[in-house]
Amino acid sequence: MENSTHCKGVEAAKDAKAPALAPSKASRRAGVIIVCLAVFLVATVCVSLMLGRYPIEPGQAIAMLVNQIPGISIDQFWTDQQATLFFNVRLPRIVLAIMVGCCLATAGAAFQGTFQNPLVSPDILGASQGAAFGAALAILAGSAAFGVSLSAFAFSIATVLLVLLVSSRAKGNRILVTVLAGTMISSLFSAGVSFTKLVADPTDDLPAITYWLMGSLTGAKMSNIMLASVPMAVGVIVLFALRWRINILTMGDDEAATMGVNAKRLRILVIVAATLATAASVAVSGMIGWVGLVIPHLCRMMVGSDYRKLIPTSMLLGASFLLIVDNIARLASTSEIPIGILTAFVGAPFFLYLITRKKKV
Global pTM reads 0.87
Chain-centre distance for alpha carbon 320: 12
Estimate the crossing angle of helix 263-285 against helix 222-241, to 10 degrees: 160
Which of 47, 51, 45, 77 lies closest to 64, judged by CA? 77
DSSP code at position 65 = H
Any idea how long the chain is?
361
Instruction: DSSP for 74-136, please give it.
Output: ----S-HHHHHHIIIIIHHHHHHHHHHHHHHHHHHHHHHHHTT-TT--TTTTSHHHHHHHHHH
Question: In angstroms, rounded to a whole number, what is the distance separating the alpha carbons of residues 8 and 359?
Answer: 14
- Chunked into runs of 10 residues, the chain (361 residues) has average pLDDT values of 47 44 72 95 91 81 85 83 87 94 96 86 92 96 90 95 90 83 93 95 92 87 85 96 88 78 88 95 91 92 92 96 92 82 85 69 44
Q: Residue 346: phi, psi to the nearest 5?
A: -85, -45
Q: Are 154 and 228 within 8 A, CB to CB?
A: no
CATH architecture group of domain 2-17+33-71+96-356: Orthogonal Bundle (1.10)
Which residues are within 8 A (CB) of 322 and not within 5 positions of it... i.e. 6 or more apart?
A: 97, 98, 100, 101, 104, 288, 291, 339, 343
Task: Give the pLDDT of residue 56.
Answer: 83
Domain boundaries, the chain: 2-17+33-71+96-356
Task: Give the pLDDT of residue 186.
Answer: 94
Task: Give the pLDDT of residue 285.
Answer: 92
